[in-house]
Amino acid sequence: MSAPSLPAAMFALLRRDLLLAFRARGELLNPLIFFVMIASLFPLATSPEPGVLRLLAPGIIWVSALLATLLSLDQLFRSDYEDGSLEQLLLSPHPLALLVLAKIAAHWLVSGLPLVLVGPLLGVMLNLPLHAIETLALGLLFGTPVLSAIGAIGAALTVSLRRGGMLLSLLVLPLYVPVLVFAASAVEASASGLPATGQLYLLAAFMLLSLTLAPLAIAAALRISSD
3-class DSSP string for 90-148: HHCCCCHHHHHHHHHHHHHHHHHHHHHHHHHHHHHHCCCCHHHHHHHHHHHHHHHHHHH
Q: What is the pLDDT of residue 184?
A: 92
Q: What is the mean pLDDT of the chain?
A: 87
Question: Could you please report the per-residue DSSP string of 144-187?
Answer: HHHHHHHHHHHHHHTTT-TT-HHHHHHHHHHHHHHHHHHHHHHH
CA torsion 152-158-159-164 (nearest 10°) is -110
AA identity, residue 125: M
Q: What is the pLDDT of residue 176?
A: 93
pLDDT tens per residue, range 191-208: 888 888 999 999 999 999
Give the span between the Cα atoms of 140 and 207, in whole angstroms. 11
Q: What is the pLDDT of residue 109?
A: 93
AA identity, residue 221: A
Q: Residues of the chain with pLDDT > 90: what percent?
A: 41
pLDDT tens per residue, range 4-48: 788 888 888 889 888 888 887 767 788 888 899 988 888 787 777
- Burial, 153: exposed, middle or buried (Cβ in 10 Å; 0-12, 13-18, 19+)? buried
* 54 against 212, higher pLDDT: 212
- In sequence order, what are the residues at sequence separation of 6 or more whose Cβ sits closer than 8 angstroms to the Cβ of residue 98? 6, 10, 215
